């Protein structure tokens, strides 16, 4: 069994070279499905390493206040957007 680091190094070599999937699988004595699992694991690791934190600024918070907290589309095509908390009884009466 290979470690994650060994897998990452192997996939990095694959990504930078001209080796086909079949050649890679033959070299590492793995199946095609294992190759794609390794490749997925490698890509997910890279996504985790490049994730940027979201910084909530006052401007961003003001923008989100204008977004609806819920949308309700009725069968007849009417669309209702709710921007603040609403009493369920009011919404039921409004829709009917």
Query: pLDDT tens digit string along 74-88?
Result: 778 888 777 777 777
Pair 41, 70 in one domain? no
Q: Where in the sequence is the domain holding 68, given as residue range(s)?
A: 58-95
- How far does CA 45 lie from the centroid of its chain? 13
Using a cut of 0.75, tell me whether the model's pTM lies above it: no
Q: Where are the alpha helices (DSSP H) in the chain?
A: 4-16, 21-28, 32-50, 58-65, 88-95
Checking if the pLDDT of 8 tops 60, the result is: yes
- Residue 26 has a pLDDT of 94
Pair 45, 75 in one domain? no
Mean pLDDT, rounded, for 44-65: 68
Q: What is the mean pLDDT of the chain?
A: 80
Pair 19, 38 in one domain? yes
């Amino acid at each position: 069994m290979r470690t994650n680091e060994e897998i990452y190094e192997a996939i990095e070599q694959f990504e930078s070279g001209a080796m086909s999937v079949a050649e890679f699988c033959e070299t590492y004595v793995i199946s095609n499905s294992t190759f794609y699992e390794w490749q997925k694991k490698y890509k997910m690791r890279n996504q985790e390493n490049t994730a940027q934190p979201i910084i909530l600024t006052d401007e961003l918070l003001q923008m989100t206040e204008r977004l609806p907290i819920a949308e309700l589309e009725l069968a007849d095509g009417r669309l209702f957007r709710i921007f603040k908390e609403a009493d369920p009884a009011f919404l039921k009466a409004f829709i009917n």
